């Protein structure tokens, strides 16, 4: 299957058993639709990958943030391995393009759904671990997830950080929903983050909260960019 080979080229890892990668990319909707045998989807691999990801991320943060206490390390790790951040990493790999989804899931935006993308990314980690051992799985995590930590933390805490920035500058902050579409089971929201009635960031998501989080993140990046230019 060409997509399987293309994805291996994308991540720079060649599977000895391509069946493991195919399973990692197989969503339950596809397995059910194709009447595949029980446990053929990626859920068990996701379970394994989640554990590998937690160990690798914990080891990385312990060694690289030696002045942080346990509570801060836990918070930092949470910002990196949470669903929205993992989905962000998955999008950078164009993971959604390679997923095997049922027709219904595909037609309702499954390739962009954060829960599906983050679960599939963890499943890929689990598949690499089984196929090539811990060292290869660790290399994948460090290369594609444990990077740009500052921005990932900013994304995770974006609404809180933006609120603090606004309070410090005595400005007003509003989240304005500009679009709502889709059926009840698959809503999509677009939200703008307005500071002093000026739109500084736009976000979208399947919940208002997710859309607001992305809008806040975009606004923070814009504020940082403006400050850099004004120096």
Q: How many residues does the chain have?
A: 231
Q: At 82, list the tokens.
A: 């949470």
Q: Which residue is catalytic, options 50, 105, 131, 157?
A: 50
Report angle CA 106, 4, 96 to the nearest 5 degrees: 30
CB–CB of 66/82 below 8 Å? no
Give alpha helix (H) positions in 68-204: 70-81, 83-92, 103-107, 114-132, 134-144, 149-156, 158-169
Q: Which residue is catalytic, options 122, 157, 192, 212?
A: 122
- What is the sign, positive or negative, of the torsion defined by CA atoms of 215, 221, 224, 226? negative
Q: Decide if 131 is catalytic.
A: no
Residues 6+ apart with CB under 8 A from 135: none
- Judged on CB neighbours under 10 Å (0-12, 13-18, 19+), 73 is middle
Closest of 141, 143, 146, 159 to residue 48, by C-alpha: 141
Q: Decide if 50 is catalytic.
A: yes
For the annotated catalytic residues, the residue numbers are 50, 122
């Amino acid at each position: 299957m060409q997509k399987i080979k293309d994805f291996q080229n994308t991540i720079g890892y060649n599977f000895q058993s391509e069946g493991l990668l195919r399973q990692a990319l197989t969503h339950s909707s596809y397995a059910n639709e194709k009447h595949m045998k029980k446990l053929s989807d990626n859920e068990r691999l996701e379970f394994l990958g989640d554990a590998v990801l937690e160990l690798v991320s914990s080891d990385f943060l312990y060694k690289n943030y030696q002045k942080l206490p346990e509570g801060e390390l836990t918070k930092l790790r949470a910002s990196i391995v949470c669903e929205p951040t993992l989905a962000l990493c998955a999008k950078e790999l164009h993971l959604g393009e390679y997923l095997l989804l049922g027709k219904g899931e595909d037609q309702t935006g499954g390739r962009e759904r954060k829960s599906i993308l983050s679960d599939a990314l963890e499943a890929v980690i689990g598949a690499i671990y089984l196929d090539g051992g811990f060292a290869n799985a660790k290399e994948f995590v460090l290369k594609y997830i444990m990077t740009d930590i500052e921005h990932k933390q900013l994304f995770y805490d974006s609404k809180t950080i933006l609120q603090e920035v606004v309070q410090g500058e005595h400005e007003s902050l509003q989240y304005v929903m500009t679009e709502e579409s889709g059926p009840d089971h698959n809503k999509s929201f677009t939200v703008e983050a307005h500071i002093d009635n000026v739109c500084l960031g736009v976000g979208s998501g399947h919940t208002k909260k997710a859309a607001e989080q992305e809008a806040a993140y975009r606004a923070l990046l814009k504020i940082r960019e403006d400050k850099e230019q004004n120096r």
